[in-house]
Amino acid sequence: MLRDGTGKIQAFLKRDNMDEDIFAAIQATSRESTISITGIVAQKRPPNVAEGDPIPDPEFEISVTEGTILAVADAPLPVGVTDDVNVGLDIRLDNRHLDLRRSHVNAMFLLRSKVLEYGRVHLLSEGFQEINSPKIIAAAAEGGTNLFPMKYFDTDAYLSQSPQLYKQLAVLGGLERVFEIGPAFRAEKHDTYRHLNEFISFDIEGAWMDDEDVMGVQERMINFIWTEITENDMNLIDEINKYRISQDKEPVTVEIPSIPFPRVSYCEAIEIVKNGGGDIEWGDDIESHHCDIIAEKFPGFHFIPRWPMSMKPFYIHHKIEEKSENGGQLSRGFDLNYGRDEMTSGGQREHRVDILEGNLIDMGLDPKDFTFYTDGFRYGAPPHSGWGLGVARLLMILTGAGNVREVVLFPRDRSRVTP
RNA sequence: GCCCCGAUGGUGUAGUGGCCUAUCAUGCAGCCCUGUCGAGGCUGCGACCCGGGUUCAAAUCCCGGUCGGGGCGCCA
């Protein structure tokens, strides 16, 4: 059996058709060795089937006349490419180059490429342009998460944890609608199925748009991706499902999510969690176990808009008249969840520099420490909004992967920096 | 950072104090057969994470280490 990037086909060897030495060499070579063959493509002899059973579609094979062994594979293989045995994720990742040869793994990465392609196509169609922002930065672009420090010649620098500031500066500069697909680095010691220390973030930012506008962009983009996959790429889903069925796992289905996605405001979400028996109060974060309760009612994509301002970063916009029933200030920040998992966080940004500085003070921060951010807003700024989406998390939904590591080529987590 | 769990041939596993010179599958080696088609048959190869301890006896119990898994926090 031969396999290359485009599929697999059986090569039929017969002593009479070829040189005896070549026949013996190919017969004797190890699994996964790389060979080149010359031969005639022919329809296979039909298999014997029991009476009454349908005759399968004709298949093709190559009747080999010549061949060369290009590279011999060592044996045994550290991970079986065609073996029936299940292999642990850690061993697979140590040998990712072999793991990728497994057809369902290969299919997952083809699908990943398609998701990025369709996302791009859709954003371009809505007038967004692709940008690239620096990943080496001098200071935090966004509060909260820990940064990886690095040496930049003689000064200290960090790996960027978000393109947030730079995509905003691009919008302020008049690029109006921008998006970026790029890496983000977070020095958090988390260890879960949905976190990595390096991940690819799908980010957009648009001028003259509010939070509702960019939620619209997002749901249309996701709807477009799902639609295109349904129309063009079900062969990849089938390949994944063939494997899943062999492992007694439920096959994945691709159901195009209808738009608009439900909006479950933060205040409603709190009520749902409370009514579902969760211990939560207005002003608390909605934690994973709370999301489980919400997901019972909203198992698919759903937005959670209008978080309390106190829980969102200083750069999120708020309208002073938008308060909760208990008088708490609401914001224009939102999340997009799928079931229990957070896919996106975004919102309308604060474009007024005096309010930006007021937000910092309200949060107990010193505006002097954030001039790298606020200085960009001193010369006029349009209202604008945006979001960041975890690409691997989206892929988890489509592929049924239980871990983001499955859909990231060479994942970087707390305990893995190789290969 | 917190809580829980695990480590047996290359890979995935069975085994909870003596029945283990350790199970099964896959793999590997050799042979036979074969238009077989991720084939079939036979024979063989290959493992109890490391260091201490308890015990007449440890894969199995205890302690420490290393590595890994799951959950939480935080987030995308």
Domain A2-75 is of which CATH architecture?
Beta Barrel (2.40)
Partners of A130 in the β-ladder: A179
Structure tokens at A84: 């029936």
Partners of A204 in the β-ladder: A179, A387
Q: How far, in Å, are A287, A290, A295 from residue A341 at the CA level?
A: 10, 11, 9
Mean pLDDT of A10-29: 78
CA distance A161 to A337: 21
Partners of A384 in the β-ladder: A207
pLDDT tens sequence across A352-362: 999 999 988 88
In sign, the C-alpha dihedral spanning A194, A197, A201, A207 is positive
CA distance A325 to A337: 24
ipTM value: 0.81
Least confident range from A182-196, A342-356, A387-401: namely: A182-196
Nucleotide nearest to A203 (CA to C1'): B76
CA of A356 to C1' of B56 (A): 78
Q: How many CB atoms lie within 10 A of CB A128?
A: 21
Cis peptide before A419 (omega within 30 of 0): yes
Query: Residue ranges of the domains in chain A?
Result: 2-75, 103-407
Q: Provide DSSP, A29-43.
A: SPTT-EEEEEEEEEE
Helix (H, G, I), strand (E, B) or coil at A324: coil
For A258, which DSSP code?
P
CATH assignment of A103-407, among 3.40.190.10, 3.30.465.10, 3.30.930.10, 3.30.230.10: 3.30.930.10
Q: CA torsion, points A348, A351, A355, A360, in degrees to nearest 10?
A: 70
Residue lying closest to nucleotide B73, CA to C1': A190
Could you check: is the Cβ of residue A140 within 7 Å of any atom of nucleic acid strand B? no
Q: Which nucleotides of B are covered by protein (CB under 7 A)?
A: 1-2, 10-13, 25-29, 35-38, 67-76
pLDDT tens sequence across A341-353: 899 999 999 999 9
Could you check: is the Cβ of residue A210 within 7 Å of any atom of nucleic acid strand B? no
Question: Whose structure tokens read 């949060």?
Answer: A363
CA distance A334 to A344: 8
Mean pLDDT of A87-109: 87
